[in-house]
Amino acid sequence: METNPCNTPANVGFSISSKVSRTIKPDATLVDIKGVMVGGSEIIVIAGPCAVESREQLFETARAVKDGGARILRGGAFKPRSSPYNFQGLGEEGLKLLAEIRKETGLPVVTEVMDTRQVELVTGYTDMLQVGSRNMQNYPLLKEVGMSRKPVLLKRGMMATIEEFLLAAEYILNQGNEQVILCERGIRTFETSTRNTLDLSAVPMLKSLSHLPVIVDPSHGTGLRWMVPAMAKAAVAVGADGLIMEVHYKPEEAICDGYQSLSLNEFAQLMTDLKKIARAVGREIS
């Protein structure tokens, strides 16, 4: 009896000769986001609001996360939303606000790009391009960001295997761009008490198979503000090279994902706690 010979989604799947493979390149890749290095001994924290909503919201949040120790600012200008009737982001107006606060704070900025036609525009305003979970297998987009010379933050699809995730990164490297950060952000399982199931075993697995840095998103991974600190600590302990977290100056008023955003005080407290874990595993958080 013949069962499926092609559970792996491709005739040619991930192999040790892939460009993302640690066999080909044993040394860890350092990704350089305007001088902030991801993949070395320092654990890098990326923080900011889910979506750019207003000048006040973005600027107050950005200043506070910088004070707390974040090294990179996140904020969405183009938002992938399940329903067409949800807030879709401020678009270029949001990009301009990001560029303005970047100048003030000196924090590099990462923001999501969803459309091949937006890559050039977004590249002009930002320091790292994010490819979101829903676009992990949007191959034209992967090729397009691969042709840009910006670092790329690639989020794991919520039902992507480790192999598919690495092959998606391969699309980017194959265009000549090796500045790729992998991000575990929770997978979809049968469990419903959390928004997703954060798969922390993906961190050692990815770092074992690939030379690329790996970070963790406990905000989307849990969907629960009160659970973010515990999972952030676990992510540092398991060996992540960084964290990306949603922080909002007024979470209860957030248009998007407020229920999973840390307040400014919660973020500051968490950073203090994370430094202790980082030291316990022989790393540091600035």
Contacting its own copies (CB under 8 A), which of 25, 92, 199, 269? Answer: 199
- β 44-48/72-74 pair status: parallel
User: Distance between CA atoms of 73 and 151, rounded to whole angstroms?
Assistant: 14
By CB under 8 A, name the one of 32, 60, 92, 115 that touches its own copies: 115
* Identity of the residue, 1 or 27, whose beta carbon is nearer to its own copies in the bound complex: 1
Task: In angstroms, give the least distance from the CB of 8 to its own copies.
Answer: 8
Contacting range for its own copies; rule: CB under 8 A; set: 67-75, 103-111, 244-252, 253-261: 253-261
CB nearer its own copies, residue 15 or residue 265? 15
Give the shortest CB-100-to-its own copies separation in angstroms: 25
* DSSP annotation string for 70-112: -SEEE-BSS---SSTTS----THHHHHHHHHHHHHH---EEEE
Does 269 interact with its own copies (rule: CB under 8 A)? no
3-class DSSP assignment, residue 99: helix
26 sits near its own copies (criterion: CB under 8 A): no
Give the residue carrying structure tokens 């002009």: 124
State yes or no: residue 7 binds its own copies (CB under 8 A): yes
Cα-based angle 119, 121, 125 (whole degrees, multiple of 5): 110
Question: Of 235, 187, 232, 178, whose CA–CA distance to 210 is shortest?
Answer: 178
Q: For the chain, give me the number of helices (H) and strands (E)?
A: 9, 10
Considering the rule CB under 8 A, would residue 159 count as an interface residue with its own copies? yes
Residue closer to its own copies by CB (options 22, 248) is 22
Contact set for its own copies, span 48-107 (CB under 8 A): 80-86
Pick one of 45, 52, 95, 227: the residue that binds its own copies (CB under 8 A).
227
Bridge partners (DSSP) of residue 129 are 111, 152
Q: Tell me: does residue 252 bind its own copies (CB under 8 A).
A: no
Sign of CA dihedral 53, 213, 108, 271: positive
Nearer to its own copies, 48 or 229 (CB): 229
Candidates 37, 121, 230, 268; binder of its own copies (CB under 8 A) is: 230
